[in-house]
Amino acid sequence: MHTHTHTHRMALLQRFEEFVFDERLGAGTYGVVFRAHSERTPEAPPVAVKCVSRDRLNKKAEENVMMECQLLQGLRHPNIVQMLRYAADPNFLYIVMEFCSEGDLSQILKQKHRLAEGEARFFLGQLASALEYLHDRQIAHLDLKPSNLLIYLRGTRQFLKLADFGFACRIGEDSFHESLRGSPLYLAPEMLCDKKYDARADLWSVGVILHEVLFGRAPFHSETYLELIKKITSKSSIKLPPQPSVSSDCRDLVLKLLQRNPDKRITFSDFFKHPFVDLDHVPSHLSLAKGRESARHGHEFERSNMLKRALDCYCDAAPHLIAAACFETDVQQEQKLFKEAEEAITKAEELKAKLRRSLGANQTFLASAPPEMGSDLVVSLVHSPELTHDLRQAFRTAFESLHKGFRYDEQHEYELAGAQYELGIERLLECVKGNYGPPPNRPLQEQLYSVIERYLARLEEIKTQARDTGRSRIAARECCIS
């Protein structure tokens, strides 16, 4: 009778407040999910309405559902499904969520079997972004699996949103829980063996998901539950399939995530910084501003002949602009951004070639550093009691400037190097001329003139290079105008 009443009530469900149910998306033990539209604002995007039957819940279970709603209410992140509203009547709990039109990651895997490494990385970055947001708020999801990673379209691309926070709770890396929760295939070993775990269990689940996405099956695929538990809790080391071949960064991350001992598993901090995750270049509304700002800095450094800094900026701009293109919904704007990314890449390649040529021209100079502060020459000038205090300080300042210039030169920051060389040379000449007191003896003066000549020659090379760069820019502008 109880089951019949439940089924009858479910069959009668047609709407919740302003939301009219259009299609049944799925059903579980406690309720059903509908796609719905707003009767009040028909132009609004569709939503998903989860209807949970209260007569199927005991008091504890109902409290858990309400706690999930309260937790979701405070979460706002582009890669986390947003809860729009929740309410209750005598028969049901209603949870109104964002609707993701493309199903979930498990459905994609059923169609494709596995994903290419680039596509897997694209989704992983979004999942990592959501987990970083949760980690900052000391929230563990504890039920990470492909079916809880919903897919939606943005423009022509599929993006990911993390869903189903039914097992989520507020725990950190240093606080533990003991109640078993989550899906067995994705459970961390410590949840099964020790029944004591913390937020690091989520990192294990990410490793299982990544393995499944890359290789077409979870690392502990089993026919029975007992066989699964035996494999997960085994002491043997985890080996990745030889095929398909994946990059070294990808392999490194999977193995660090799938460490059975949570103390040996990669930390959240290192996970978010891992080069395969590349969290800084996950597509978002910030990608365009970051990319164009880096490209602008690159142009400014290049105009100032600070080539190494310009190269770094262009290398940073390109992936941000690619991410911005992926995030763009307008096709023409997307193509424009891809073109900007290609231009940044071309600029970077040109600067690399230019720096190699420049390095070849001055490698003889860079093979010999300026006199170290502890060398006989500098000690005799900076600490000699025969020289005035002002002269000793002037020598110290001069050599410090030469050292700064040399370090800039090593980093291809030629404008900054030239400026420091000029300061050092000018100060040494003033010292030799006696501007700060009687100059040092003749042998020391000869050594100083040798240092001055060497740095004057290098300074002239830098100025010549800057003039050539300026002429090239003028020629390029004239060519564009004509």
CA distance 183 to 141: 12
Going by C-alpha positions, the residue among 353, 363, 345 that lies closest to residue 307 is: 353
Which residues are known to be catalytic? Answer: 143
CA distance 188 to 182: 9
For the chain, counts of helices (H) and of strands (E)? 16, 10
For the chain, how big is the Rg over CA atoms in Å? Answer: 32
CA distance 247 to 291: 26
CA distances from 331 to 54, 153, 154, 156, 182 (A): 46, 14, 11, 9, 40
As beta bridge partners, residue 36 has 21, 47
**Beta carbons within 8 Å of 281's beta carbon, 6+ residues apart:** 125, 287, 319, 320, 322, 323
CA distances from 433 to 370, 391, 419, 427, 448 (A): 21, 11, 21, 10, 12
Cα-Cα-Cα-Cα dihedral of 114, 119, 123, 128, to 10°? Answer: 110
Q: What is the identity of the amino acid at 382?
A: V
Q: Which two tokens stand for residue 69?
A: 């709603």
| Positions at the binding site for ATP | 50
Say if CB 197 and CB 188 are below 8 A apart. yes
The residue count for the chain: 482
